[in-house]
Amino acid sequence: MNTKVTEGIRITVNAKYNEKLSYLEENSFVFEYHINIQNSNPDKVQLLSREWHVFDSLDDPHVVEGLGVVGEQPALNYNESHSYTSYCELKSEMGYMEGNYTFINTLNNKKFKVTIPRFYLVYPGKLN
């Protein structure tokens, strides 16, 4: 589990290999990651967008950008949190993800970036 606090927003990530969705013979390694976002700011904030940097040991790095997370742009009051689960497919047994979210303070309309900590995606069989 990885945690990072930026601008009063705590991001906690837990990733694991998903055997049911993976096809090793086709070099398809699927990982699921669960993210919890908690607001420690006194003001209400809203998540606007995401930017992921995905690194695969057998593929070129790529960036995934878009509005919100899994179709939502959650707004969080002080001490509220939002959790979601998503997936990443790699062509290899190892890689990692990191990135940032863009938030807006709903009181003063100031946008700010929040770091998503780097987390590793490793096929359990690779560790043996």
Q: Output the domain CATH number for residue 79.
A: 2.60.40.1470
Residue 106 has pLDDT above 80, yes or no: yes
Residue 72: pLDDT band with limits 50, 70, 90: very high
Identify the domain containing residue 112 by its residue range. Answer: 2-116
Is 38 inside any structural domain? yes
Is 126 inside any structural domain? no
**Interval 57-80 mean pLDDT:** 94
Please give the tally of structural domains in the chain.
Answer: 1
Q: Evaluate whether 99 touches 55 at the Cβ level (below 8 Å).
A: no
CB atoms within 10 A of CB 40: 15
Is 121 inside any structural domain? no
Helix ranges restricted to H, 27-121: none
Is 93 inside any structural domain? yes
Is 66 inside any structural domain? yes
Is 104 inside any structural domain? yes
Is 128 inside any structural domain? no
